[in-house]
A and B are shown apart, each in its own frame.
Chain A
Amino acid sequence: MNIPGNLKYTASHEWVRLEDDGTVTVGITDHAQSLLGDMVFVETPEVGRKVSKGEECAVVESVKAASDVYAPISGEVIAINVDLDGSPEKINEDAFSAWMFKMKPDNASDLGALLDAAAYQSVVESESH
């Protein structure tokens, strides 16, 4: 299973990259995309929207099903990946480079609650049993 060690994760299958400038970049994991199958539609949040940790803030729809994407931390959406608009299949091709949105955290301390790769791997394994 592909779970890069340099990223953080949530139990709801988002990946989070901590950037040098204190912002975070968010996408869905390779495990999540493989469960959903071919992506056909991505609805990203509006730039400037304030979201709370755990709030629904994007939707990915595959041929099979729709799935919410949750804010991994509280903060403000500062950018969205417009490339996904016409090419949602990029999530299937490489889930860890097909980022969905970037956020500016309200509290840097929120980041400590995210899962590391080993903890996320345990989440995935526990779900498959």
Chain B
Amino acid sequence: MLKRTPLYQAHSDMGAKLVDFGGWEMPLHYGSQIEEHHQVRRDCGMFDVSHMQVLDIRGKDSRNFLSHLVANNVDKLRAPGKALYSAMLNADGGVIDDLIIYYMDESWFRIVVNAGTAEKDIAWMEQQATGFSVEISPKRDLAMIAVQGPNAREKVWEALPGSKELTESLIPFSAVEMGTMFVARTGYTGEDGFEIMIPARAAPFFWATLAEKGVKPIGLGARDTLRLEAGMNLYGQDMDETVSPLEAGLAWTVDLKSERDFIGKTALLSKPVKSQLAGLLLLDRGVLRSHQKVSTSHGEGEITSGSFSPTLEQSIALARIPKEVATGEEVRVLVRDKLLRAKVVKYPFARNGKSLI
């Protein structure tokens, strides 16, 4: 039996094509994935991301515990509401999950983890919490709705009376509590907008109100092409427990400068970095897909995420290739028995409505 979010009925009513996504029955699209993609880049759209798991870390050792647990440095979190993106590593330096940590106060940090890894993450955190005075509480009663796009904030302000005053001054990558809700200026699309946590029982009404204000529902299909264009990693595809964050394009999130020790640090420092995550732009006609083999001047690589980019109107990919390969090199990708030409590019490919290529 697939798990359903509090918005399942709303998706059905809106004509969603529902699919099994990591054990959850989720909307893939509501008609056209490409139109939904453009809708977010050009105006705004809403996503049900209630399958993601919210966790609260409470207790006097919260900061020290997180400092030990994750690869990014939680000491960057000083202003209440500030968010931090980080990988959580195992002792070998592989990525257990990627997550966002919101700092509320010294005895309360809120974390959002991926749906498919949530149970594993919680078990790992519980295991690592030994010796720390912290309490880890999964908030299973919270739904989450992301509203993304250049007009997203305006639409949320229309749909949620009183929210403008509280959230207008929120800087990107920060959050604020609003009664039983929690509003964060974060997302997974490369557009401005909010991710809003809301009690499950109130979620259908909020979703319906946003729809009344003209906000279109967006499925997981467009969510994937939006995040790929924005150059954001997807756990399980672009990295997993066998991959170092330093070879997954996440070096910017790993704090190796401070004296602080964290799980996986020793392993990261002892292993040579051999690969990089690079952007690919397909020059020939076709579509890049994950697991296709890439041939470069410095050896073989593999596509980790690939799709058609609606913004660029050509195929793009993230690929793990030898670290010596330079931006601009033309590589070959094996696509359905044919070797197609692709160019190594810096990503993100598109953000804020515009192509960056």
Contacts and interface: CB of A to CB of B under 8 A. Distances in A.
Given A38-B33, A40-B308, A41-B308, A61 B287 contact: yes
B32 A38 contact: yes
A37 B28 contact: yes
B285 A41 contact: yes
B225 A66 contact: no
A10 interface: no
A92 interface: yes
B336 A63 contact: no
A53 interface: no
Given A37-B28, A40-B308, A66 B289 contact: yes
Contacts of B336: 59, 66
Contact of B221 (A37, A40, A43): A37
A64 B221 contact: yes
Contacts of B17: 37
Nearest to B287: A61
Interface string B285-313: 11101000000000000000001101000
A92 B34 CA distance: 12
Contacts of B310: 63
If over half of B's interface residues share one DSSP class (helix, strand or loop), that class is named, otherwise mixed; here it is mixed
B315 to A, nearest CB: 8
Contact of A41 (B32, B34, B286): B286
B34 A63 contact: yes
B29 interface: yes
A41 B287 contact: yes
A64 B285 CA distance: 16
B33 A37 contact: yes
Contacts of B315: 40
Nearest to A34: B17
Contacts of B287: 40-41, 61, 66
Contacts of B221: 37, 63-64
Interface in B216-247: 221, 225
Q: Which of A37, A59, A63 has the most CB of B within 10 A?
A: A63
6 closest A-B pairs by beta carbon, nearest first, are A40-B308, A38-B34, A61-B287, A38-B33, A63-B33, A63-B308
Interface of A: 37-38, 40-41, 43, 59, 61, 63-66, 89, 92
Given A37-B17, A40-B287, 19 more contacts: A37-B28, A37-B29, A37-B33, A37-B221, A38-B32, A40-B34, A40-B315, A41-B287, A41-B308, A59-B336, A63-B34, A63-B225, A63-B307, A63-B308, A63-B310, A65-B289, A66-B287, A66-B336, A92-B32
